[in-house]
Amino acid sequence: MKAKDRIIVALDVATLKEAKSLAEKLRPYVGMFKVGLQLLTAEGGPQVANAIYDVGGYTIYDGKFHDIPNTLVGAVKGLGTLSGVSMFTVHASGGEKMMHDARRNLGESVRMLAVTVLTSISQERSFLTFGASAKAKVVQFANWAKNAGAYGVVCSGQELIVLAEEEGLKDLKRVVPGIRPKWFPGKQAKTKKKDDQSRKMTPGEAIKAGADYLVIGRPITQPPEEIGSPVDAAKKIAEEIKQALEEKGDD
């Protein structure tokens, strides 16, 4: 993969018009686009997928599905008919059978990503929620995902090292959100929102630690003024990824 192909832009915007405009501008400079619950609920999955595909983009359908197996199978069955949907997400905490049934009923048409422990969850919150550290739960969930036939897992950059130590998990792709370049938010950030990511990493750090794909939202869609436009931000991040790959010897 080229450096830019490792970038997944999170289109966490409120309207289809905004999403399509960003996708059209960024498509030549990134690999894919992730559409999440905000946009899917507001505009509808087929409409969003079609709009992004119309401008040449491919989509990760980030529905984070989590339900009993029979219900989930019915929910995801239509994903294979949507234009440009390359991957979809499920919560690994739903269990191995849930993921297996979802994967089996979609076949090879859309690849499954298993969300392990959300990057907004701190270590303290992980113990309160799961009764174990984030690292321990990520490894457990990743093993379930592998057994269920997942293409990859979604985890924070901080769990990449422990996953790399698991010989049986080497074939799983590692998709890493919570990516924050050193220059974000910067001196003149366009957004005043508090950062909701607890377990963060820079693009270069994540690539060197073993990430295959980086999910990046606000640093690209709302970059600081001193960085420039979303395209400028995407190019800057791609250069950081390229440099990290060269230093790692994976270029």
Known catalytic residues are 64
Are 49 and 84 in contact, with CB atoms under 8 Å apart? yes
Strand partners, 61: 35, 88
Q: Please, which residues bridge with residue 216 across strands?
A: 9
Rounded CA-CA distance 212/206 in Å is 9
Question: Is residue 159 helix, strand or coil?
Answer: helix
Q: Are 32 and 86 in contact (CB under 8 A)?
A: yes
Per-residue burial over 33-44, b if 16 or more Cβ lie within 10 Å, else e, is bbbbeebbeebe
| CA distances to 8, 14, 28, 220, 224 from 190, in Å | 21, 17, 24, 11, 6
